[in-house]
Chain A
Amino acid sequence: MSRKKIIFSPVTRLSGILSVKVTIDDNRVVDADASSTMFRGFEWIMKDRQITDAVYMTQRVCGICSLAHGATGSYLLDELYGNQISENAQYLRNIMYGADFLQNHIRQIYFFSLPDYVKMPNQPPFHGQNLLDARLSPRDNQRLVDNYFKSIKAGQQSHQILALFGGKAPHQHSFVHGGVAVAPTVDKINTALALLAQVKEFVSETMLPDVKLISRVYSDYFKIGVTPRRLLSFGLWRFGENNEKYLWKGRALNGNRLTEVDINLINEGIVNSWFEGEADNIYNGKLEPEPLKESAYSWVKTVKYQGEQFETGPLARLIINRLYKGGTSTMDRIMARAIETLLITELMEEWLSKLKPSNKAPIIQNKVPIKEQVIATTDAMRGGLLHSTKIRDEEVLKYNIITPTVWNFSPKDDYGNLGPVENAMVGTEIPYPGDLYTILGRIIRSFDPCMSCATHVLDVAGNIKDKVVF
């Protein structure tokens, strides 16, 4: 194969819309652009709104991880208003958040990733699969197809736990600033325990063995889609009256160096993104979308930590917290997601048993803000998520979001340094042209891209740094 440019679009089976452009030379990917092609502009939408609208509004950024935005928005408001969160409210919040994680991971693994490795029945919506590199024995293959359909109920039951406490799902209502508006009554706790037991059984008896089987049969993917060992997590499962304690710590891991995350070391650039504006203008909030910018190829901005692009997600979380030992390959990312799912079911059981039954909702909302600007971070399903805001008289002057997919799908920086997904693709060997989509698709989906999230937004600069360094 001589040098050739190929557009991979649409990259299906993910949340949102993504195109990938690769250059192939001598059967190897030598260049890659990950191109997010949808923009919604939530940063602009949030402006001038009442700040307490943040939880419900920002959940609309994303369908599959909506509570991640609701949770971060709640942490942000808690700090702005100085709310004290009771222990019971924290258990309840984490149970609800955990349920949304289970939903996300189960659906990502079965609906999105599984058809990369398993020959699906030749009927809608699986027709035209074109999976040449299908290696499972017919018996194993059939079992995993059956499990695809079994996973439907486990995903639904996970969201049922969230709806039980949250009023609805996606876009739950009760996890808001000040606590949770729903009382953890005995009947609700019992219903949740019963649902969780079924989800846990599916995860431990079906999902984990399925993922292990795939990782054995496709073990070469422990060497494909490898990223530099630069991993970032903001921490997950918050406790304490002021949301100050994390069960899983947030850290930056660069090679073997593990450091505390310093938010001031985050910066963003727009050299390859469809935006116009100078650094100072970004500070003043004058950055404007420019879909006609010729040199750009994505709505995602280049985000960096300490001058380098970092990968984020379940793998980063688990490695940083010493819950997973392994590399940074395609299969490591999938394994980490599956292991994390099981860990979360165990944590949720513990939390449900510690939750004190009550007929009163654990919520107290202060009415007057005690701060004017705040940054809130947590890990979402796909990795580190940041919300920041600046307000006056409870009205939003500026609201910024950096989603996990912005980290992972960061386009190239000024010096041509690749973002994590681009990095994972470049250098990959494509033995047969017919396998191109399959191989790239496996790499891309291991990051669990959510382009709905990535493309609203957004700059962090205004509230975080005095000077933005590009």
Chain B
Amino acid sequence: MNKEEFIQGCQRLRNTQDYRLSKHILSGIKGYRVKSDSKLPVLWLETSDSGDNNISFMNTTYPYLGQVFEDMIDLLYSNTFMAAQGKHALDILKRITRYQKGEFVLVVEGAIPTKANGLYNIVIETQRERITALEAVKWLGGLAKYVVTIGTCASFGGPSAAKPNITGGVAVSEVLDREVIKVSGCPVNAEWFVGTLAHLLMYGKPELDELGRPTSFYGYTIHRHCQRRSYFDRGNFAQALGDIECMFSQGCVGPKTYADCPYRQWINENWPIEANTPCIGCTNPDFPDGSSPFFTPLPEKRQEDNKKREGQKDE
């Protein structure tokens, strides 16, 4: 499979079995692996996050998780999966930084707390030192071939940096002086992430939008391809959650949210608007503060936000 075919596969506006991206990834990777032995060396660092992106990653289908491990990546370090523990895990980390410098992909899951020198998040402790998320991401980020942020916390701060942000949480890109490939979402959709890894393995860096996200998955708004778009166009709005009409009246932020959920779906089954609830814009740089109150219509959310901002000025 060539790169153009792969990208087209990523952007298909269909969600029937035959058109699922996941199947494209698998056949692409199989073809690639015939020619090349190499897998993507991945070092996965967990920082200030709920671990939801790891769980979503486990939900990947075609390739299933076992196939990702077998055919796509060497997951060299991962707090969630690695069998090694304690000092042995730290030793593995140190070995990678010594012998695989400039080769590995650093995946960061979580925002980076910066207040109190980052002490709100210590990732590893030894007798001599406490390594904070801030130190770890700077150290490893400087040695990686690519830095990929998984989820909205790592990509933009997300819930971990939501107001009033007492830990001073920031996006990974705020503390690294290099390009970061941002695969946002709360959580990430497994296909966005596995698709990005597949692209890195087979064709290198994917095309990114101005926010640093792969355009194959974040190229259009939810609104553009929403199955309920005709209701919106006719002004036919839902009266309550559970209705089958347009969710704009229920707080939907689909018009300002870039993601392909309407045809990508979640675990091949469903997505929030098909579940008769609003899109809350979880891939956005301003999530969750820019989306809340979640059930207030978009124009009023903005008004309320402005009111609050003015209120703060008065104080």
A residues within 8 Å of B by Cβ? 5, 7-17, 19, 35, 37-41, 44-45, 47-50, 52-53, 56-57, 60-64, 66, 103, 107, 111, 115, 120, 123-131, 149, 152-153, 155-156, 159-160, 163-174, 176, 178-183, 191, 289, 291-292, 360-363, 365, 437, 441, 450, 452
Q: Is the CB of A11 within 8 A of B167?
A: no
Inter-chain CA distance A355–B282, complex, in Å, is 31
Interface residues of B in 54-83 (CB under 8 A from A): 54-56, 58-61, 64-66, 69, 73-83
The minimal Cβ–Cβ distance linking B58 to chain A, given in whole angstroms, is 6
A171 to B151, CA, bound (A): 13
Q: How far is the CA of A313 from the CA of B90 in the complex (A)?
A: 30
Contact A15 to B51, CB < 8 A, known contacts A159-B267, A171-B186: yes
A38–B288 alpha-carbon span in the complex (Å): 20
Question: Quick one: given A125-B75, A159-B267, A363-B240, are A170 and B293 in contact (CB under 8 Å)?
Answer: no
Chain B 43-58 interface 0/1 with A at a Cβ cutoff of 8 Å (1 = within): 0001011111111101
Asked whether any CB of chain A lies closer than 8 Å to the CB of B7, the reply is: no
Q: Which residues on A sit within 8 Å (CB–CB) of B186?
A: 60, 171
Is A124 touching B51 in the complex (CB atoms < 8 A)?
no
Contact B241 A169 (CB under 8 A): no
Comparing B9-17, B193-201, B268-276, the segment that makes contact with chain A is B268-276
Check B175 for interface membership: any CB of A closer than 8 A.
no
User: Of B50, B60, B83, B272, which one neighbours A115 at CB under 8 angstroms?
Assistant: B83
Q: State the CA gap A180–B83 with chains docked (Å).
A: 39
**What chain A residues lie within 8 Å of B84 (beta carbons)?**
12, 127-130
B51 and A156 contacting across the interface, CB-CB below 8 Å? no
Which residue from chain B places its CB closest to the CB of A43 in the assembled complex?
Answer: B166
Q: Cα distance A183–B66 when bound, in Å?
A: 34
In the complex, B2 has a CB within 8 A of chain A: no
Most A-side CB within 10 Å, residue of B49, B78, B282: B49
Partner of A63, one of B55, B164, B288: B55
Binding site for A on B (CB under 8 A): 46, 48-56, 58-61, 64-66, 69, 73-92, 113, 116, 119-127, 130, 159-160, 162-164, 166-167, 169, 186-187, 240-243, 266-277, 280, 282, 288, 292-296
- Known interface pairs A19-B122, A115-B83, A159-B267. Does A50 touch B295 (Cβ–Cβ under 8 Å)? yes
Most chain A beta-carbon contacts within 10 A, residue among B51, B167, B187, B292: B51
Q: How far is the CA of A55 from the CA of B48 in the complex (A)?
A: 20
> Given A64-B55, A289-B120, are A128 and B92 also a contact pair (CB < 8 Å)?
yes
| Residue among B50, B60, B186, B277 with most chain A CB within 10 A | B50
* Inter-subunit contact B88/A130 (CB<8 Å): yes
Residue ID in chain A nearest B42 by CB atoms: A124
Contacts of A64 in B (CB 8 A): 51-52, 55
Q: Which of B55, B119, B163, B282 has the most CB of A within 10 A?
A: B55
CB distance from B277 to the nearest CB of A (A): 4
A-B residue pairs in contact (CB < 8 Å), sample of 11: A10-B86, A11-B86, A40-B167, A44-B166, A49-B293, A50-B295, A60-B50, A169-B56, A171-B52, A178-B241, A182-B276
A17: which of B87, B123, B187 is its contact (CB, 8 Å)? B123
Complex contacts, A52 vs chain B, CB 8 Å: 293-295
Closest to B187 in A: A170
Chain B hits for A123, CB < 8 A:
74
Q: Which of A37, A130, A163 contacts B121 (CB 8 A)?
A: A37
Asked if A63 meets B86 with Cβ closer than 8 Å, knowing A10-B123, A171-B186, the reply is no
Shortest Cβ distance from residue B71 to the other chain A in the assembled complex, whole angstroms = 12
Contact check, A127 vs B92: say whether CB atoms are below 8 A apart.
yes
A12–B58 CB distance below 8 A: no
CB distance from B121 to the nearest CB of A (A): 5
- A126 near B83 with CB under 8 A, answer yes
Q: How far is the CB of B82 from chain A (nearest CB, A)?
A: 5
Closest to B189 in A: A168
Least Cβ distance of B248 to chain A in Å?
16
Q: Is A149 a contact of B79 with CB atoms below 8 Å?
A: no
Interchain CB contact under 8 A, B124 and A125: no
Contact of A13 among B50, B61, B80, B116 (CB under 8 A): B80
> For B76, what are the chain A residues with a Cβ–Cβ distance below 8 Å?
124-125, 127
Give Cα A296–Cα B294 distance, bound, in whole angstroms: 37
Check A63–B83 contact: CB distance below 8 A: no
CA distance A174 to B266 in the complex (A): 14
**In the complex, are the beta carbons of B80 and A152 less than 8 A apart?**
no
Asked if A125 contacts B81 (CB within 8 A), the reply is yes
* Contact between chains at A63 and B51 (CB < 8 Å): yes
